[in-house]
Amino acid sequence: MVGLNHFLILTSILFSLGLFGVITRKNAITVLMGLELILNAASLNFVAITRFTDVAASGQVISLFIIVLAASEAAIALAIVLNLYKNFNNVNVDEINSLKE
Amino acid sequence: MNTQLTIFQVLIVLLPLFGFLVAILPPKSYKKMYIAEVGIMFITLVLSAVLFFMKIFSLPDETIRSTFTLFTVGGSDGFNFIVDLTMDNMTVALLFMVSLISFLVHFFSLEYMSHEPLKNRYFGYLGLFTFSMLGLLSTGSIIFIYIFWELVGLSSYLLIGFWGFKDEAASACSKAFITNRVGDFGFFLGILMLFITYNSFDLFFIFDQIGAGKFPLGSEMWLTVTGLLLFAGAVGKSAQFPLHVWLPDAMAGPTPVSALIHAATMVAAGVYMIVRLFPLFTETSFLIIGFIGGFSALMAATIALTQIDIKKILAYSTVSQLGLMVLAVGVGAYHAAIIHLLFHAFFKAGLFLGSGAIIHATHSQDINDMGGLRKKMPVTFYTTVIYSLALVGFPLTIGFLSKEMILTSSITLGSLSGNYIYFIFAVLTSTLTSFYIFRYVFLIFFGEPRNHHAYEHAHDFNIFIKLPLIVLAALCFFFIFTFNPITLHGTWLTDLIFRLPKILLPDNVTYSFLTNGAEGSIYSEVYTHTMHASEIVVTIISLLIISGGIGTAWYMYMKKKLVPKVPEGFLGKAYMFSQKAWYINELYDVTVIKGTMLFATLMTIIDKYLVDGIINLGAKITMILGRFSAGFDKYVVDGFVNLVAWINGLISMILRKFQTGKVQTYLTLVMVFIVFFVMYIFSN
Amino acid sequence: MIMELFDLFFYLFASVIVISGAVTVLNKNLIYAAFALLILLSSVAAMFFILGAEFLAMVQILIYVGGVLILIVFGIMLTGQVKSVPMRENFVYLLIAAVFTGLLCGLLVTGITARPDMTLSADIASTPIKMLGNLLISKYYLIFGMLGVLLLVILIAAAGMARNNKE
């Protein structure tokens, strides 16, 4: 019988996959995809908790906000990526190390 | 009234200082500045004349003093340093004399120094000198006398060295300064003696204390020593033997300066000082003072006989006349000394200005370049003759009056005490004086011109040269000062101007005939009586020696037309002895200067081998210790510091690996630490 | 919806989510990754659906699949790097990342399984949209309004940043 824990484990795996992508991929767009994975994991968590506990529809509202934020984040992130490409002529995150000293 | 006079006095003293400041600041127009300088001196002269008459005729008996405390040393009951302004009849007379001669010299210098490039500096120094001299006369505090004393010495130094590009002037100013130091050292010791005894610089207070029987270190002998130490200052400043050597050399300065400083005023400061300190001297002091004065007078007169530099003749004449003044103090004739000081200032300044005119005309100081100048320079000639007559003490001139007072006083002392040495000194000096000064006149103005080139160009100059000569010559006649041509005793001059000081010393300490007499007299009745009796004798002797001296000069230089040259035989040796100024400079060269050099060499050797050796040894030891210390520093201290640095570097090497600048690495680190943190929480 | 069917759907979509997620993260070809992301997002939408959040499922499809994914594909095409976009080369780094990500996941799972499970006894009823709307304009109205402002700002910012400055 599938319960809340199944969903939580699923989102944990999804989150870990997203995190792995964020910290290991070179390409900034792939990093962005990893971020989408993490956001979806969170979103799914909220919905599942709404379903299995007695919190009315608050979780779904938060999920809605997350989707909105994810969309705006994607828009900004892609604008940044395009600017990066313009300035460095690639979008490899590990080669963009201007933060160093 | 007193306040008014004090204000006048302050103005008179400070105006020349203002002139000095005007001259040393860069002026807009030099011509205007010179006019301003002479104008300032003229205002000073007018003010001092007004002060003189106001003081003499309205407050003749008062000594006006105004003092204020500048600062206090050592708490409320400590020593007060007091600024002191004192004015008595002697002061105002001398203030008038100094400002008159200073004004005339300023006026004379306008023409005489007209071709000098640094005229403004010259006028500045003159102003500084006049300020210092007037200040010296205006104070009754011995420390202020000392301060102004040094200031006049300084301005004398500056003015002698005005042509410092000449070696002669440069060494002369140093010589004047250093020789004066010797005397001033004694002067300062004397001041210290007075101060430690009386804890005050106020002369009048000190005199009162002496009158009350309080002597330095409690004995009369120490009072004598103090007096002689103070007299040492006068010996230096007034060029008395043995410190007279600087004055003839000081003639390297401009001639108007010689007239003002080295004939009329500054050198008289020494005489003024011993007159001011008159109540301080004991009988022994007076003996020594009189002897030194008489000896200097005679010695300088013998030297002046054979000099060929016209300014040197006048310089030795000045030494001689100053010696007579000091002698007058030594015989107790306080008023004779100060009157001779005053009168001598007029005719000696005139002689110097006349010689300046001659030098300006002939561009030479050598008496052999002159002769026959009376036709070319009539004004200079007539005035110089008048000054010379005044100097020898010819009747109807002021010189007769003052010299007669000195002779009378010394013969009176001789007949009272049996000590005729001072009288002999004075008579011999007067005889020689009348010879050498007419030798000067005859050789310059009479006879054939010995240097035709100089003779052709000689002429009298414009009003700037003539006016001072004429004014000073007019002052040489007796009727300016008194209506009695024979003697000054009992006239208004001695009665009013030179109010005699109170003699407070006990009779056994000072001369017995000096008493604290009533009604303006310090002399005992027997003294006055003897003096009156000897007056006629002195007049006759005086006339004899004058005519003898002038006659000899006339015989030698007019009749036989001798020219100055070294004669043969023993007389030649004597001549050289005189011309070389008794070889005193050479003696000093051998003893003092060579001795100093020898001592310096000795000290150099000691310094080089002993002191340097010790220092080098110390340096060696320090170096060895330093090496030791350096090794310790290098290996132990530095090693420790390097170890710490190395450890820090190692840690940094590890840590900097994490600082890649890559966002993902940071994120990974964050993740790793979150994992550890969560595991830590779970493990609890 | 009967329970057995719910379980069946869950396992189906869960496996699809994990596989497509792994493909998204690990594939070298960005187009494949984007396609896998499309499947993943759709599966999440399906999950929403079986959890009774039909409105959210629709929003997910509309915004994510229709908006975000299109943006990402545009980004891929504009930067011109489609094929052979590898992982970072440093093996030690990859190892650390993998180990610690695994550890984190393990920790999460451990934490989750340590607590009692919650299951549903009854059939799943869908949440009424009206209720969501009420919540948005009552309890969460402040956040709602601020999100509106945020969207405006982002609209301007994204437009400004993406502009070609060189012109």
Listing DSSP states for B369-408 in one string gives G---TTTT-HHHHHHHHHHHHHHHT-TTBHHHHHHHHHHH
Tell me which residue in C11, C18, C25 faces A34 most closely, judged by beta carbons: C25
Cβ(B433)–Cβ(B323) below 8 Å: no
On whether residue A26 sits in a domain, the answer given is yes
**What is the predicted pLDDT for the residue at B518?**
46
DSSP B88-108: -HHHHHHHHHHHHHHHHHHHH
Name residues whose C-beta falls within 8 Å of residue A8's C-beta, 6 or more positions apart in sequence.
A45, A48, C108, C112
B673: nearest CA partner in chain C = C100
Quote the CA–CA distance of B453 and C161 in Å, as a whole number: 106
Name the B residues in 551-590 with CB < 8 Å from any C CB.
Answer: none
Reduced to 3 states (helix: H, G, I; strand: E, B; else coil), residue B483 is coil
Tell me which residue in A30, A44, A57 faces C47 most closely, judged by beta carbons: A44
On whether residue A44 sits in a domain, the answer given is yes
Q: Taking CB atoms and an 8 Å cutoff, what residues of chain A touch C98?
A: 20, 24
Minimal C-alpha gap between A51 and chain C (Å): 6
Q: Taking CB atoms and an 8 Å cutoff, what residues of chain C touch B672?
A: 96, 100
On whether residue C102 sits in a domain, the answer given is yes
Quote the CA–CA distance of C107 and C94 in Å, as a whole number: 20
Chains that touch C (3 or more CB pairs under 8 A): A, B
pLDDT in tens, B550-590: 888 888 888 777 777 777 778 788 888 888 888 888 888 88
Across the interface, do B663 and A99 touch by the CB < 8 Å criterion? Answer: yes
Written as six digits, the tokens of B265 are 């005023």
At CB < 8 A and 24+ separation, what contacts does C140-144 make?
C140/A61, C140/A65, C143/A65
Residue B72 pLDDT exceeds 80? no
Residue B336 pLDDT exceeds 50? yes
Encode C60-70: b = buried (16+ Cβ within 10 Å), e = exposed: bbebbbeebbe
Query: Pick from B666, B677, A34, A45: which is nearest to C107 by CA?
Result: B677
The CA R_g of chain A, rounded to the nearest whole Å, is: 17
Across the interface, do C30 and A70 touch by the CB < 8 Å criterion? Answer: no
Handedness of CA B550, B555, B556, B562 (dihedral sign): positive
What does the pLDDT profile of chain A (101 residues) look like in tens digits? Answer: 788 888 999 999 999 999 999 888 888 888 889 999 999 999 999 998 888 887 778 888 999 999 999 988 888 888 888 888 888 777 777 777 666 65
Query: Pick from B158, B151, B130, B147: which is nearest to B16 by CA?
Result: B130
- CATH number of the domain residue C54 falls in: 1.20.120.1200
For residue B79, what pLDDT band results from cuts at 50, 70 and 90? confident
Q: Which range of residues forms the domain containing residue C8?
A: 2-112
Q: Where are the beta strands (DSSP E) in B9-135?
A: 64-73, 79-87
Q: In this complex, how many residue pairs, one in chain A and one in chain C, have their CB atoms less than 8 Å apart?
A: 230
User: How far is C-alpha B359 from the chain's CA centre?
Assistant: 25
Across the interface, do B675 and C111 touch by the CB < 8 Å criterion? Answer: no
For residue B628, what pLDDT band results from cuts at 50, 70 and 90? very high
3-state secondary structure B509-551: CCCCCECCCCCCCCECHHHHHHHHHHHHHHHHHHHHHHHHHHH
On whether residue C137 sits in a domain, the answer given is no
Work out the percent of chain B whose per-residue pLDDT is above 70: 93
- CATH number of the domain residue A46 falls in: 1.10.287.3510
Q: Give the mean model confidence (pLDDT) for residues B41-54.
A: 90
Name the C residues in 133-152 with CB < 8 Å from any A CB.
Answer: 135-136, 139-140, 143, 147, 150-151
Query: Pick from B410, B567, B395, B364: which is nearest to B478 by CA?
Result: B395
Residue written as token pair 């229709």 = C66
Minimal C-alpha gap between B655 and chain C (Å): 16
On whether residue C160 sits in a domain, the answer given is no
| Encoded amino acid at C95, one letter | L
Q: Give the mean model confidence (pLDDT) for residues B450-470.
A: 80
Q: Give the mean model confidence (pLDDT) for residues C99-107.
A: 90
Written as six digits, the tokens of C133 are 């709307």
For residue B519, what pLDDT band results from cuts at 50, 70 and 90? very low
CB atoms within 10 A of CB B346: 25
On whether residue C122 sits in a domain, the answer given is no
Q: Taking CB atoms and an 8 Å cutoff, what residues of chain A touch C93?
A: 24
Quick check: bond before B242 cis, omega within 30? yes
Reduced to 3 states (helix: H, G, I; strand: E, B; else coil), residue B502 is coil
pLDDT in tens, B396-431: 888 888 888 888 888 888 888 878 888 899 999 999
| Encoded amino acid at A61, one letter | V
Q: Taking CB atoms and an 8 Å cutoff, what residues of chain C touch B684?
A: none
**What is the predicted pLDDT for the residue at B495?**
61
Q: Give the mean model confidence (pLDDT) for residues C87-112.
A: 84
On whether residue A73 sits in a domain, the answer given is yes
CB atoms within 10 A of CB B221: 13
Residue C44 pLDDT exceeds 90? yes
Could you tell me which residue, B27 or C23, shows the higher pLDDT?
A: C23
User: How far is C-alpha A77 from the chain's CA centre?
Assistant: 12
Written as six digits, the tokens of B241 are 């033997």
Quote the CA–CA distance of B144 and B132 in Å, as a whole number: 10
Could you tell me which residue, B493 or A54, shows the higher pLDDT?
A: A54
Total residues found in chain B within this entry: 684
Number of domains in chain C: 1
Q: What is the ipTM of this complex?
A: 0.89
**What is the predicted pLDDT for the residue at B654?**
85
Terminal Cα-to-Cα distance of chain C (whole angstroms) = 59
Residue written as token pair 């499309």 = C38
**What is the predicted pLDDT for the residue at B231?**
92
Cβ(B324)–Cβ(B406) below 8 Å: yes
Tell me which residue in C86, C97, C127 faces A23 most closely, judged by beta carbons: C97
The CA R_g of chain B, rounded to the nearest whole Å, is: 35
CB atoms within 10 A of CB B658: 10
Q: Which helix (H) or strand (E) holds A33?
A: helix A28-52
Query: Pick from B365, B547, B377, B571: which is nearest to B458 by CA?
Result: B377
Residue C1 pLDDT exceeds 60? no
Burial classification of residue B162, based on how many CB atoms lie within 10 Å of its CB (0-12 exposed, 13-18 middle, 19 or more buried): buried
Number of domains in chain A: 1
Quote the CA–CA distance of B641 and B652 in Å, as a whole number: 16
CA distances from B448 to A33, B12, B481, B561, B562 (A): 132, 48, 38, 9, 11
For residue B500, what pLDDT band results from cuts at 50, 70 and 90? low
pLDDT in tens, B288-331: 999 999 999 999 999 988 888 888 899 999 999 999 999 998 88
DSSP secondary structure code for residue C81 in this structure: -
pLDDT in tens, B640-658: 999 999 999 999 888 877 7
On whether residue A8 sits in a domain, the answer given is yes
Spans of all domains in chain B: 140-579, 595-659
CA distances from B651 to B9, B645, B655, B658 (A): 87, 10, 6, 12
Minimal C-alpha gap between C92 and chain B (Å): 12
Quote the CA–CA distance of B84 and B143 in Å, as a whole number: 10
**What is the predicted pLDDT for the residue at A16?**
93
* B660 has a chain A CB within 8 A of its CB: yes
Q: Taking CB atoms and an 8 Å cutoff, what residues of chain C touch A43?
A: 44, 60
Across the interface, do C107 and B678 touch by the CB < 8 Å criterion? Answer: yes
CB atoms within 10 A of CB C162: 17
Q: Which range of residues forms the domain containing residue A46?
A: 4-88
pTM of the model: 0.65
